[in-house]
Structure 1
Amino acid sequence: MCLDLKRTDAIATITLSRPDRGNAINIELADALLAAVTACETDAAVRAVVLTGAGALFCAGGDIDAFAQAGSEASGLMQRLTGPVHAAEVRLARMRKPLVTAINGAAAGAGLGLAVMGDVAIAAASATFVGAYSAIGLSPDVGVSWWLPRLIGLRQAQRLLLLGDRIDAVEAERIGLVTRVVPDDLLMATAMAAAGRLAHLSLPAFQRTRALLLEAPMTGLEPHLELEVQALTACAEGPDAAEGIAAFQEKRQACFQA
């Protein structure tokens, strides 16, 4: 089994599980990831998702041994792999449910893209981050070249993707690549606590806020203000806004249902 999916209350945990291969992505894992993400997206009982890896690494990226074995057919294999992984990433980024990434070790190549896309990205102190593409003559995939400039700016993205620098968890937190660094033995507890907080949010409001944040770098001020108005009024028309306002006035925690 190359992936494990389990649900605890309202939180689904997806664990990449090829620890003997550093959770490197092969066709089986790519397909399993898309299936797991689809299951989380469509399960009404799931209100937050945690993505992590089994063993010492979060994800070593694409399976280099499989590329080597494919020989002249390597480009076709890469296209086959990126299809389901990219579909999974889009679903994770667009679904109405929050994503927490629990980065338990090295995140390289495609693994870097998966690691940093969390709405909250928690890194173990032992985690490291590296683009890895330039060292093997490849360009980025899995959204790495999309996420990095937005999260850490162009210069730092160039550092990771062109120079191929490897950075540790402390540096990753300093430059804004991850949300927080915690001791290794507290990683999953911290990630689950963050997912628990997110699971109590209004999911429609969360989804619209996430979309505004992702669209902001590509939108001028006036158009973005209009998008904010549209999102705000749509939230106000739903039941969660009424519940949130009532809870605030009554000095209690809101119980969002949407």
Structure 2
Amino acid sequence: MTALETLTYEVTDGVATLTLNRPESKNAINPAMADELGDLLATVKRDASVRALVITGAGGAFSAGGDVRGMNGAGPRSPGQIRAGMERYRRATVELMGLDRPVIAAVDGVAYGAGFSLALLADIVLLSERARLCMVFQRIGLVPDFGALYTLPRIVGLQRAKELMFSARELGPQEAVSLGIALEVLPVSDLMARAQAMARGLCGASDAAMSLTKQALNASLGSDLSTMLEMEASGQAIAASSDYLKESARRFVAKEPPQFRWPERQVPHLDPKKNA
């Protein structure tokens, strides 16, 4: 792997941690970061030792979104040049959305614009109690990107997605949970520990069953019942013939601990004023 300039990446016991690492700009996503994201995610896809991925940001922020300062300093570009430049963001979006292993976004601080969109591409979103999310694009006259026009309506419904994108208003963590955008809110000090524990738990699942389930769920809202039942039957034929199932059945009969166990959460006391 080539040296990374805008990201950090490490793998421990099957869990990969990808950190957006431009803290001086609150991890704003510039073309270099988008290129590195696409390249790194393609590498993750080929690495069978990675069984779960955690994405987070450095310096107390997830991502402030696109690099507006960089946009301001760029010279004039034609619509064709701008469209061609969007290919790097498209590639990163497709690589992350198509990753056949579970992805957890651990969001601390701001997740604005493309940063919010990036978090929506994860399978599970965890927020710190100081997280702030915003589809900020309308404030600067841009269209939501990084797949948000696809993901957000599927998560919150069409009318709410329009309201969030049209208004460009900020969301607190508790509202994000109530809308289904995030799963849990945690103290800042517990955020990464919870994300890592969840990822380690998911590493104990069947690779085949996890991949097949994720692919089917991603296809479900654009499919009909007949298609989904066919995916169910085909997936079960693969999963039910795996060594994982044989070992799980043996452990069940022997009354041994299961291979997969979802980590229990220790629910902390949160300050409601911070989550409004």
Give TM class, smaller chain: over 0.9
1:122 matched to 2:140: no
Q: Which amino acid aligns with 2:47?
A: D
1:21 matched to 2:25: yes
Instruction: Tell me which residue corresponds to 1:54.
Output: 58
Alpha-carbon contact 1:96-1:204 (below 8 Å) kept: no
Instruction: Spell out the pairing of 1:161-172 with structure 2 (5 A cutoff).
Output: 161-172=165-176
Q: Partners in 1 of 2:73 and 2:152 — Cα distance?
A: 30
Instruction: Tell me which residue corresponds to 2:98.
Output: 94
Moved more, 132-141 or 240-249: 240-249
Q: Percent identity?
A: 34
Q: C-alpha deviations, 1:68-106, integer Å up to 9, x for none? A: 222422756754553233322322222222111100111
Q: Which amino acid aligns with 2:194?
A: T
Q: Which amino acid aligns with 2:180?
A: G
Alpha-carbon contact 2:130-2:173 (below 8 Å) kept: yes
TM-score by length of 1: 0.92
Alpha-carbon contact 1:70-1:77 (below 8 Å) kept: no
Uncovered stretches (5+) of structure 1, i.e. residues with no partner: none
Instruction: Tell me which residue corresponds to 1:207.
Output: 211
Instruction: Tell me which residue corresponds to 1:194.
Output: 198
Shift in Å, 1:255: 4.7
1:246 matched to 2:250: yes
Alpha-carbon contact 1:14-1:50 (below 8 Å) kept: yes
Q: Which amino acid aligns with 1:5?
A: Y
TM-score by length of 2: 0.86
Q: Partners in 1 of 2:243 and 2:45 — Cα distance?
A: 21
Instruction: Spell out the pairing of 1:1-40 with structure 2 (5 A cutoff).
Output: 1-40=5-44
Larger proportion of helix: 1
Shift in Å, 1:254: 4.6
1:154 matched to 2:158: yes
Moved more, 22-31 or 68-77: 68-77
1:225 matched to 2:229: yes
Moved more, 245-254 or 197-206: 245-254
Shift in Å, 1:249: 2.4
Shift in Å, 1:30: 1.3
Q: C-alpha deviations, 1:182-218, integer Å up to 9, x for none? A: 0111110011011111111111111111112111111
Q: Partners in 1 of 2:97 and 2:256 — Cα distance?
A: 31
Q: C-alpha deviations, 1:131-173, integer Å up to 9, x for none? A: 1111111111111111111111112211111121211111101
Number of residue equivalences: 256
Instruction: Tell me which residue corresponds to 1:44.
Output: 48
Alpha-carbon contact 1:67-1:77 (below 8 Å) kept: no
Uncovered stretches (5+) of structure 2, i.e. residues with no partner: 261-276
Moved more, 8-17 or 61-70: 61-70
Mark the CA change 1:78 to 1:249 in structure 2 (over 3 Å): closer, same or farther: farther
Structure 1 residue ranges, 4+ long, deviating more than 6 angstroms after superposition: none
Alpha-carbon contact 1:30-1:81 (below 8 Å) kept: no
Mark the CA change 1:245 to 1:78 in structure 2 (over 3 Å): closer, same or farther: farther
CA RMSD after TM alignment: 1.9
